[in-house]
Amino acid sequence: MLIGGFGIGQGSIFLAQTWLVATGKTELLALFGTHFSFAMLGIIAVESGSLTVLSAQIARILHAEGDRASVWRSYWETTVFRLTIAVALLLVGLGVGASESLPDFSRTYLLFSLPALVIWAFNAAGFLDGLQKSGVSGITGSIAYLASAAALFLAANLPDREVGMWTGLALSCGYALTVVAQFVALALAGWRPHWAAPTKSGTRKAFVEESAMLAGLLPGQLYFRAQLAIAGLFLGTSATAMLVYAKQIVGAASQIAGFARRIEFPRLVQAVAANPATGIGRMLRIQRTSFGIAGVFTIGIIVVALIVVSRFTGFTHDAWAFLAVFCLTILTESVGQALVQGLFAHNRYHVAAMARILAVALAVIFGYLSVSIFGAYVFVLSDFLSHATVISLSLWWLMKVTRADADRHA
């Protein structure tokens, strides 16, 4: 269901954009693509990794046989943090929207999509994940994408101001429907909405943990943009296009493997809660499905790449030869993220963020300094460096954390 939701959501946007290309509306494609990308960045900022934090908290509470009020209190404490981020972004957006220099599309899209940020602060995706119902949150998560794609298709021939209004409104309505659908799913599962007043300590904990998650997420969002800048500055359009093409395929495969980790995460949290001395090997075995998916995609991409390289020349040959090497990073990323989830299971959000920030910084510096030596393949090496940094630091910290938690609970 997670993969289906991903395919429906991303697929609908892809089809709408393909239709724009086929009908020659490339300017609208650029406008919508840019604005939709920034809207998603806002959604990610509001989420701030709370999906993982809330999922872990609920899994622990259920493992300890805590009462329902404790579960709902955890949700509302997380919502306070998300709502704070959403209101801050809303105020910034309103300030930008008041500018007279904004183009018509930008102003209307911004103003009509801003409610989506506030609405998403109340999402129950992490709640569903904690109940091991990730598939439901995956399917419902496609609604906003479907709504945006439909609005783009139906409003494509209208003036820019109206296209911006309808596509922005579709995003907000899509997220409103998503949140409603999530709460309906919770109610059907026996978890009717319940108000449990947040506590000061719980809210403070939510701010600390989710700020750490946000700090760890932002470098990753900026990393690919830094790679594009390096490629454009030093290698030209062909290498940049090759990087974009390869990253899209590798990124999609890694995201699908990530869906499996998301499903495995509550079980990992409960295993660590039951035995804080759970070894790293046991943590990785719990996440073996995600490794299997990563391996299948890697082998599949290599096989297809070898076929394409043997039959084509020019850009297609070069792009798939590059992809045949680049796809190996699916495996290294899968290992790194599995170890990071081990840190999350131990409530070590800050050290995970530190590992990610350091990894991205080293990879960007290496890419900038070595691009003239390795050409486009520097981005494969920089990804390997990034993943190796995350793996090494996560292993080191996990060994320390496991020993410390074992001693504390001895």
State pLDDT tens for residues 18-57.
Answer: 787 677 776 777 677 778 878 888 898 898 878 878 888 8
Cα–Cα distance measured from residue 69 to residue 381, given in angstroms and rounded to the nearest whole number: 49
Residue 29, Cβ neighbours under 10 Å: how many?
Answer: 19
| pLDDT number for residue 407 | 67
CA dihedral for 27, 30, 35, 36, sign (positive or negative): positive
DSSP class per residue in 325-354: HHTTHHHHHHHHHHHHHHHHHTT-HHHHHH
Q: Are 343 and 269 in contact (CB under 8 A)?
A: no
Count Cα atoms within 13 angstroms, Cβ side, for 196.
18
The 10s digit of each residue's pLDDT in 101-134 is 788 888 999 999 999 999 999 999 888 888 888 7
The 10s digit of each residue's pLDDT in 282-302 is 999 999 999 999 999 999 999
Residues in contact with 396: Cβ distance below 8 Å, sequence separation at least 6, in sequence order? none
Tell me which amino acid residue 164 is.
G
Q: Are 385 and 332 in contact (CB under 8 A)?
A: no
| pLDDT number for residue 383 | 95
Q: Are 287 and 338 in contact (CB under 8 A)?
A: yes
Average pLDDT rounded to a whole number, residues 212-240: 80
pTM above 0.75, yes or no: no
| pLDDT number for residue 227 | 86
Maximum separation of any 2 CA atoms in the chain, in Å: 68
DSSP 8-state assignment for residue 387:
H
Bigger pLDDT: 99 or 348? Answer: 348
> Over pLDDT 90: what percentage of the chain?
41
Cα–Cα distance measured from residue 273 to residue 93, given in angstroms and rounded to the nearest whole number: 41
Q: Which two tokens stand for residue 40?
A: 């998603």
| pLDDT number for residue 36 | 82
pLDDT band, very low/low/confident/very high, at 258 (cuts 50, 70, 90): confident
Residues in contact with 76: Cβ distance below 8 Å, sequence separation at least 6, in sequence order? 195, 196, 197, 198
Q: Which two tokens stand for residue 154?
A: 């139906």
pLDDT band, very low/low/confident/very high, at 409 (cuts 50, 70, 90): low
Q: Are 394 and 355 in contact (CB under 8 A)?
A: yes
**Which H/E stretch holds residue 22?**
helix 2-22
Mean pLDDT of the chain: 87
User: At which residue do the structure tokens 């890694």 appear?
Assistant: 254
Instruction: Give yes or no for residue 392 having a pLDDT over 70.
Output: yes
Residues in contact with 313: Cβ distance below 8 Å, sequence separation at least 6, in sequence order? none
The highest-confidence range among 73-77, 157-161, 231-235, by mean pLDDT, is: 73-77
Residues in contact with 394: Cβ distance below 8 Å, sequence separation at least 6, in sequence order? 336, 339, 340, 342, 343, 352, 355
Return the axis-axis angle of helices 2-22 and 143-155, rounded to nearest 10°.
10
CA distances from 399 to 145, 280, 369 (A): 41, 8, 33
Cα–Cα distance measured from residue 87 to residue 95, given in angstroms and rounded to the nearest whole number: 12
| pLDDT number for residue 28 | 79
